[in-house]
Amino acid sequence: MALSSLLSKPCISLLSAKPSPENKNNKISPTSFTLCSSLKTKQSRVTKPATLSKTHKLSWQQELKQAFQQPKSQNLQTNNDSIDCNIDDIDDESFQKLVDKRCVDNVRMLIVDAVQNAQAGHPGMALGMADIGYYLYRHVMRYNPRDPKWFNRDRFVLSAGHGCLLQYVCLHLAGFESVQLEDLKRLCKLGSRTPGHPENTVTDGIEVTTGPLGQGVANAVGLALAEAHLAARFNKPDCDIVDHRTYCIMGDGCAMEGITHEAASLAAHWKLHKLTMIYDDNHNTIDGPISLAFSEDISARFKALGWNTITVDNTHDDMDSFNDALLSAFGDTEKPTFIRVKTLIGRLSRKEGTSKAHHGTFEEDDVKQMRQKVNWDSREPFHVIPMVYREMQIQTDHGEKLEKEWFSKFDYFKTNYPEEAAEFEVLLSGGLPPNWETCLPEWSVTDPVDATRGYSEKCLNQLVKVLPGLIGGSADLASSNKVYLQGSQDFQHSSFYGRNIRYGVREHAMAGISNGIALHRSGLIPFAATFLIFSDYMKNSIRLSALSHAGVIYIMTHDSIGLGEDGPTHQPIEQLAGLRAVPRLLVFRPADGNETAGAYREAITNRDAPSVIALSRQKVAANLEGTSANEVEKGGYIISDNSGKSLPDIILIGTGSELCLCEESAKMLRKEGRRVRVVSLVCWQLFNRQPKEYKEHVLPSSVSKRISVEAGSSMGWSEYVGREGIVMGVEEFGASGAYLDTFKKFGFTEENVTRVAKSLLSQY
């Protein structure tokens, strides 16, 4: 589109349109077009176009003349068409379009410079989506770089995480302290704040850690769910304190990953209308054009799921259509919006439109020509036009103003709704009221026996009474996992305030959405439940929970061959070993009610780390004497020992439902005069963190005769039993049968544990 045509086309402000009839509260958007001055009343969130100051226009005039009024080279078609009128005579809206176009040129040049300097990175998507990224940060999203954690900010997720350089550049230009020019120069370098994919624990302004494709889509659904839930609980007719939107950029790879379909299905079912998905439709993946493996109509798929779908054909030359798409998204109060943006991967380069642009550097002559196309050839690498900073400062100032207005609104809320405000403040401070842990039930050896999933149910339904942020659900197994929160409604479109989430059979999306809920950082404590065997569906999301410090609680029932009749397909063998290998992930396998309560206390206390609580379907033999909820914090501890001041002859180490086998075997051995210690190793990770002296106290190195008993893979247990110890585990896939018969088949009986112990004791 020629700029002469661009100049004659009127600009539509993001908030200048009137609300649709369906939008009864006049809430077209929780964002603002930054050339507009906001009206403060709730009744009118619409804004009016502001007039560009003469000083502002003068500051840009020379730069725009240089960029757009130079004659075209005879040998090179420039990217920026020369204009056919005097810049001095251009109206404000058209002038702003030229400013935006020049800012995008600067964004692209910074992307090229960073990749060339690092000799690494993924420039293709970043170059192709530069217009969109800039527009969102300059004209659309509400945020305050001076306070990146401001609660009511809009959330942005880059699901196509390989395009992180675009976000880094936008964060830098927007004024985030976390990304300086030096950080752009250190792209992908060890210890830099600009790693090869976005990491929320490394760079302020990054909401979630993305990279594995599709994960960010599920995270965005979780962020939008959190906003909808809190808005339903706390907003009042005269005061909205929760009112922000979630934006997500996804790519062709995200579209192909199954987690995207799962999460998008739920977003539409829940009608999360403040979620806007922007699809970078560049028709390329790493191996080549998407036609190699992908031919579906992705817009039709999202429409069938229940999304408002819009296609934008050409943002490179005309952003009005993207602006119109956003207006449609803001006006829809029943559906999330899917905006399909057709772009050119590797925009400006010789690789433009091909898979070769996805990653890697550019040839020197290609860089030279890219610079010539945007009239940049005389500038040093990493040059930023000073006015670009000032341009982005407009949005920063606006965001700071919005935050101040929000705090004033919250003061009003506290005055008029003190009880709700107190609860909201607990959430914003982490979600843990004083002495919350005292609500956890306690059990004695005289209480009726139950499965640990049954004890878990009792813990959850006590915790929900005191923890305002506890929210979660199961992948169509709530009645079996026993995780339904009694007295709390379901989270649905008609009851966003509900705290029971019905995920359906969508384990992978459930975990990814839970990460988004946790990383909303509003004090919500998400839990996600299924059978332990199905943790395989969720493994990538669980790993990202740990990497991104998302305190999700994964409740995994049916934790061993003890589930019996369902057979090998449902009997977890290697799952515990795999989960224990994940850094920062706390894996608990409690033996009874007291340890289950202790596991919940530790999982909830550790808000920056995810936890897995593995629970039995079968009832444990007893609530064991000697177990302790308090001792769970150490990961491993002694539950019984008849050695007195002497060292034990043998140490039996167990977890979960097998701990009672150790204790019963110990009783039999003690009758024969043996000194036997029984140790519960309920959480390896917590035990490994203990001081050396404590670990030596529990597992003295001089006691070499040790046996571990766990109905799962033996991998990892040698660290605790030593060279001379014996690991009783399962090296096959299990078997179908009654659980007692299955346990007997694999040697998990008191008699067999005793036999193995006697055999070991007889050795010198």
| pLDDT average, residue stretch 575-587 | 98
Question: In whole angstroms, what is the distance from residue 168 CA to residue 101 CA?
Answer: 19
Confidence of residue 564 (pLDDT cuts 50, 70, 90): confident
Q: What is the pLDDT of residue 90?
A: 81
- Say whether pLDDT at 616 is over 50: yes
Whole-number pLDDT of residue 529: 98
Which residues lie across from 637 on neighbouring strands? 680
pLDDT in tens, 280-295: 999 999 999 999 999 9
DSSP state of 738: -
Cβ atoms 195, 235 nearer than 8 A: no
E strand residue ranges, 523-608 = 525-531, 553-557, 586-588
Tell whether the model's pLDDT for residue 322 goes beyond 70.
yes
- Residue 104's closest CA among 363, 388, 321, 298? 388
Quick check: helix, strand or coil at residue 763? coil
DSSP class of 706: E
Q: Which residue matches tokens 């894996």?
A: 587
Q: Could you tell me the maximum CA-CA distance found in the chain, to the nearest angstrom? A: 103
Whether 477 and 533 have beta carbons less than 8 Å apart is answered as: no
Cβ–Cβ under 8 Å, residues 443 and 470:
no
Question: pLDDT higher for 82 or 456?
Answer: 456
For residue 28, is pLDDT > 50?
A: no
Tell me what pLDDT residue 34 has.
Answer: 34
CB 162 within 8 A of CB 125: yes
Res 146: pLDDT: 95
* Residue range 559-567: mean pLDDT, rounded: 89
Task: For residue range 743-754, list pLDDT tens digits in order.
Answer: 999 999 999 999
> What contacts 210, CB < 8 A, 6 or more positions away?
157, 158, 159, 160, 161, 197, 198, 216, 219
Which backbone phi and psi does 380 adopt, to 5 degrees?
-70, 155
- Total number of residues shown for the chain: 764
Return all residues near 274 (Cβ < 8 A) that are at least 6 apart. Answer: 30, 224, 227, 228, 244, 245, 246, 336
Q: Which residue has the tokens 């008849």?
A: 642
Average pLDDT score over residue span 660-689: 97
Q: Kindly state the average pLDDT of the residues 399-403.
A: 97
pLDDT, mean of residues 286-306: 95
Pairing of strands 553-557, 611-614: parallel
Percent of the chain with pLDDT over 90: 85
Dig out the tokens for 544 from the structure.
């990202």
Q: Which of 90-104, 291-305, 315-329, 561-575 has the highest mean pLDDT?
A: 291-305
Beta strand extents in 267-402 (DSSP E only): 275-281, 284-285, 288-289, 308-312, 337-342
Which of 9 and 516 is assigned the larger pLDDT?
Answer: 516
Chain-centroid distance of CA 742 in Å reads: 39
Q: What is the pLDDT of residues 524-554, one digit of tens each?
A: 999 999 999 999 999 999 999 999 999 999 9
pLDDT digits over 160-177, tens only? 999 999 999 999 999 999
Rg value, the chain, Cα: 30
Which segment of 52-61, 62-71, 233-242, 402-411 scores lowest on mean pLDDT?
62-71
SS (H, E, C) 367-434: HHHHHHHCCCCCCCCCCCCHHHHHHHHHHHHHHHHHHHHHHHHHHHHHHHCHHHHHHHHHHHCCCCCC
Q: Is the pLDDT reported for residue 301 higher than 70?
A: yes
Contact between residue 161 and residue 198 where contact means Cβ atoms under 8 Å apart: yes
pLDDT the model gives residue 41: 33
Position 87 scores a pLDDT of: 66
Instruction: Give me the pLDDT at residue 184, please.
Output: 97
Terminal alpha carbon distance of the chain: 88
Separation CA 248–CA 251 (nearest Å)? 10
Task: Dig out the tokens for 215 from the structure.
Answer: 């994960």
Amino acid identity at 236: K
Q: Is pLDDT larger for residue 621 or for residue 231?
A: 231
- Catalytically active residues are 507
